[in-house]
Chain A
Amino acid sequence: MTTYSFDAVIPIVCVILAGLVVMLAEAFRGRGEKMPLGGLAVIGLVGAAASSVLLWNRNATSFGVVTADNFALFLNLVLVAVGLMTVLITAQTADRDKLPAGEFYATALFALVGMMLMVQASDLLVMFLALETMSIAVYVMTGIRREAVNGTEAAFKYFLLGAFASAFFLYGVAFLYGTTGSTSLDRIGTIVASQAMAPNPLVLMAVGMLLVGFAFKVAAVPFHMWSPDAYEGAPAVVTGFMSTGVKAAAIAGFTRVFLSALEPMIGYWAPALWVIAAATMVLGTVVGVQQTSIKRMLAYSSIAHGGYLLLGLLAGSDVGKASILFYLAAYALTNLGAFGIIALLGSYSRDNDNLRDYAGLWHSHPVLATLMALFLLSLGGFPPTAGFIAKWYVFSAAIGAGYYWLAIIGFLSSVVSVYFYLRIVVMMFMTDRDARPVPAPVTGIALAGLALSLAGVLYLGVLPSQVIEWAQASVATIF
Chain B
Amino acid sequence: MRRGCSILGSDLILFGLFAAVAVMGSLAVIGQKNPIYSVLALILSFFGLSGLYVLLEAPFVAVVQIIIYAGAIMVLFLFVVMLLNVPREDAAEWDRTHPYYRPAPAVLGSALAAATLGLLAWAFSRTPGLGAGVADARPAASSVGQLGRVLFTDYMFAFEVTSILILIAMVGAVALARKREQ
Residue of B nearest to A62 (CB): B157
A398 within 8 A of B: no
In the complex, A125 Cα to B154 Cα: how many Å?
12
Interface: B130 (CB within 8 A): no
Contacts of A110 in B (CB 8 A): 164, 167-168, 171
Chain A facing B: main interface SS: helix
A269 to chain B, nearest CB (A): 26
Task: Of the listed stretches B88-96, B119-127, B174-182, name the one at the interface; the rest are far from the partner chain.
Answer: B174-182
Q: How far is the CB of B180 from chain A (nearest CB, A)?
A: 7
- Chain B residues near A137 (CB, 8 Å)? 168, 172
Partner of B172, one of A63, A123, A140: A140
Q: Answer whether residue A443 sits at the interface, using C-beta atoms and an 8 A cutoff.
A: no
Number of B residues near A (Cβ < 8 Å) is: 20
A113 at the interface (CB under 8 A from B): yes
Provide the A70-89 mask, 1 if CB < 8 A to any CB of B, else 0: 00000000000000000000
| B158 interface hit (Cβ, 8 Å) | yes
Task: Tell me the residues in window 141-162 of chain B with beta carbons closer than 8 Å to chain A beta carbons.
Answer: 153-158, 161-162
Q: Does B84 belong to the interface (CB within 8 Å)?
A: no
Q: Is the C-beta of B5 less than 8 angstroms from some C-beta in chain A?
A: no
Q: How far is the CA of A130 from the CA of B180 in the complex (A)?
A: 30
- Which residue of A63, A98, A103 is within 8 Å of B175 (Cβ)? A103
A133 and B168 form a contact (CB under 8 A): yes
- For residue B1, CB closer than 8 A to chain A, the reply is no
Taking the complex as formed, is A117 at the interface, i.e. its CB lies under 8 A from any CB of chain B? yes
Q: How far is the CA of A84 from the CA of B108 in the complex (A)?
A: 57
- Cα distance A130–B165 in the bound complex, in angstroms: 8
Interfacial chain A residues near B162, Cβ < 8 Å: 129
Known contacts A100-B180, A107-B171, A139-B172; A125/B155 CB under 8 A: yes
Please determine whether A129 and B176 come into contact, CB atoms closer than 8 angstroms.
no
Interface residues of A (CB under 8 A from B): 2, 9, 16, 23, 31, 62-63, 65-66, 98, 100, 103-104, 106-107, 110-111, 113-114, 117, 123, 125-126, 129-130, 132-133, 136-137, 139-140, 143-144, 146, 155
Can you offer 13 A-B residue contacts whose CB atoms are under 8 A? A2-B154, A9-B157, A62-B157, A65-B158, A100-B175, A110-B164, A117-B161, A125-B158, A130-B161, A133-B165, A136-B165, A139-B172, A143-B176
Give me the 7 closest cross-chain CB pairs, A-B, nearest first. Answer: A140-B172, A103-B175, A63-B157, A110-B168, A129-B161, A133-B165, A125-B158
Q: List 14 additional contacts besides A123-B158, A130-B161, A133-B168; criterion CB under 8 Å.
A: A23-B171, A62-B157, A65-B157, A103-B175, A114-B168, A117-B161, A125-B158, A126-B158, A129-B165, A133-B165, A137-B168, A139-B172, A144-B175, A146-B176
